[in-house]
Amino acid sequence: RHCTRRWRAKRRSAMGADVLARLPDAALGAVLALLDWDSLERALAASHAVREAVHGGALVRLAAFPDTAWNPGRAARLLAAAPRLRILQIATCATLPEMELARCIRALPLLRHLELHHLELSAGLVLDSLAAARPPLQSLALTGTILASSRALSRLLATLNVAESLVLGGFSELSSVHLGLIATDCLSLEHLTLRQCQQLDLVDFDVLRKSRVRNLVISLCLGPISLACSMPARSLRHLGLHHVDIPTAALLRALSFLQHLCTLELTSFCLEDFVLSNHSCIAALFLHNCSVTLGFALHRLPALRECELACCSGLQSVAVTDCPALVALDLSMQRKLTTLQLSDLPAMKSLNLWGCDKLYQDASSNLIIQGCPLLQVKWQTRPFTHLIF
């Protein structure tokens, strides 16, 4: 009876592997990428067809999460079965030896995307493997990674071989000096994300202009950050600032030099009398959960197509004038908004005023719309009694 049960279990495993083997390579790779490492090893052991497909490149993504058990040589066996692996994600694997991880990285010649989260890399073996990566990685994410010292971080950035995207998170020692190393040594980098870097106190756009960084995102840096910009930065196209402390005047001054910036995203930002005008390239502006005191105004922005101000506490006055390309304006959940002025917006079609209670309940509110022939007001629950066209 015991042998019969074992035979039935093996038969079910083989039948499942045969079903996987009949899938196209893209579908097979997507299914295998969702399996934990135990199930993946069983699938590879049960079917020769699955092994052949994986060895031929069907599996391009592999992830190891905290519950993955690392036996000696286990990672090497799995990665040897998938030599064409392109994406590797490893998170919070305390039992993973750094030497074995470094060996695995060197054994994957086609690896292009690597994510390492909450690992201890104090020996420097993985850093040497990253520096020797040929061809270079397209993207690298290091969050919560423990290095030996600040000098190890400097060595990492000075020898880093990443072609497109770099994410650094949880490095308390990262400062403006390391940001300068990124700008001067990672010349092909286009996307840079910095998270929870508590010692980052200065972002120098004059240094970043030496690089090809097009997208810059800074988030969860709790200390005050200064912005330095005295020359036009032509490469930067997207700027995201989330949960950071930057004075409004410094931000506006930096924007005056970022004349090729197309998208600006601000989250949980404190703004005082935000007035943005005469910017030739900015096409999208997003503000979420920001604290806005005094007013918010946009003037003479010829490329602006979309503006979203959602759940911004304290916002009482909004003025948008002379933005000929603006199509949609979202002012939802601005419960203290009492003054709205829109003029010379010939392309504007959508205005979202859902949740702007004071704008139609307060007798002293002021809503003026002029030069908006295509406009449709959405989500108002009551007719406006003080609407001036």
DSSP code per residue over 23-60: S-HHHHHHHHHHS-HHHHHHHHHH-HHHHHHHHTT---
Average of pLDDT values for 334-360? Answer: 88
- The whole-number pLDDT of residue 360 equals 73
Q: Does 66 score more than 70 pLDDT? A: no
Q: How confident is residue 17, by pLDDT bands cut at 50, 70 and 90? A: low
- The whole-number pLDDT of residue 149 equals 63
Overall pTM surpassing 0.95 (yes/no): no
Q: Where are the alpha helices (DSSP H) in the chain?
A: 2-21, 25-34, 37-46, 48-55, 74-81, 98-106, 125-131, 150-159, 176-185, 205-208, 248-257, 357-361
Three-class SS state of 111: coil
Tell me the pLDDT tens digit for each residue of 129-170.
777 766 778 888 888 877 756 677 777 777 677 778 889 888
Q: Does 387 score more than 90 pLDDT? A: no
- The whole-number pLDDT of residue 299 equals 95
- H helix count then E strand count, the chain: 12, 22
Among 217, 263, 264, 272, which Cα is nearest to 243's?
Answer: 217
Q: Does 29 score more than 90 pLDDT? A: no
Which tokens belong to 318? 């909004």
Residues 6+ apart with CB under 8 A from 146: 119, 120, 121, 122
- The whole-number pLDDT of residue 295 equals 84
Tell me the pLDDT tens digit for each residue of 234-280.
788 999 999 998 888 889 998 988 888 999 999 998 888 889 999 98
- The whole-number pLDDT of residue 95 equals 67
- The whole-number pLDDT of residue 383 equals 43
Q: How confident is residue 378, by pLDDT bands cut at 50, 70 and 90? A: low
The whole-angstrom separation of Cα 96 and Cα 70 is 6
Tell me the pLDDT tens digit for each residue of 31-59.
878 877 777 878 778 777 778 888 888 88
Residues listed for the chain: 389
Range of weakest confidence among 6-15, 208-217, 330-339? 6-15
Higher confidence at residue 299 or residue 199? 299
Summary mean pLDDT of the chain: 80
- The whole-number pLDDT of residue 150 equals 65
- The whole-number pLDDT of residue 319 equals 94
